Amino acid sequence: MKVELRHNPSSTIARCFLAGGEPMRVESGAMVAHSAGVALAAKAEGGILAGLKRSVLAGESFFVSTFTAPPEGGWVDVAPALPGDMLALSITPDRPFFISRGGWIANSHGVTVEAKWGGLANLFGGEGGFGLRAQGQGEVVLGVFGAIDVIDLAPGEPVTIDTGHVVAYDLAMNFTIRRAVSGRSLQSLKSGEGLVFDFTGPGRVLLQTRNPGAFAAWVGSSASSG
């Protein structure tokens, strides 16, 4: 699968080119268009239990759509629900990634994407203890709210990131979570920040420049005040 991005960075759409007979998996509802002859099948990938884990725990849909190109090949256009950028993330056997809730849009046939426990840090970070683990060989298409930012950390190099802005990171990455103002819940609240991740390299962290949770809170507040 080869990925071509268009209309980026604010309203990005990804065109995924498939060889003859090649399948790809897509988040339910993310397909925008596809070329003639591409076949669609929707099912609970991995069975009912896996579908429940993916939907209830990882925040993705119960069903996964599989698009398969005809013998002459074809393409599928996919896009996220929120406005923003997209990224084709290369996955290799020695470098799996953890994907936060809502970030996964599609993946090539050689990649396995399954619900994974991200640790208590993710749970208390308000982003859900589960996300998705992407492993294998191929491409994963991610969608973000706003623009994509990439931080590559050298061995031993630290960085602090708000939990709502983390999209994906190397599974081998070391991290902890804490209040934005260490040991002071009230000060963290006053600062407008809640909890943050402290990552330590080596590894890569993918960020989104807008926070979906903060946006949802703003919309709710605006609606109630109106």
Judge whether residue 46 has pLDDT over 60.
no
% of residues, the chain, pLDDT over 70: 77
Q: Where are the domains of the chain?
A: 2-224
Q: Give every CB contact of residue 220 below 8 A, 6+ residues apart in sequence.
A: none
Look up the pTM and report it.
0.81
Dump the DSSP string for 100-146: -TT-EEEEETTEEEEEEE--HHHHHTTS-SEEEEEEESEEEEEE-SB
Q: Which residues of 108-129 are buried (b: 16+ CB within 10 A; e: fewer)?
A: bbebbbebbebbebbeebebeb
Judge whether residue 118 has pLDDT over 60.
no
- What 3-state class would DSSP assign to 57? helix
What is the helix (H) or strand (E) element at residue 212, kind and residue range?
Answer: helix 212-225
What is the per-residue pLDDT for 193?
53
- In single-letter form, the type of residue at position 42 comes to A
- The larger pLDDT score, comparing residue 223 to residue 120, is at 223
Question: DSSP assignment, residue 48?
Answer: H
What is the per-residue pLDDT for 123?
44
CATH of 2-224, one of 1.10.1060.10, 3.40.50.300, 3.60.160.10, 3.40.50.150: 3.60.160.10
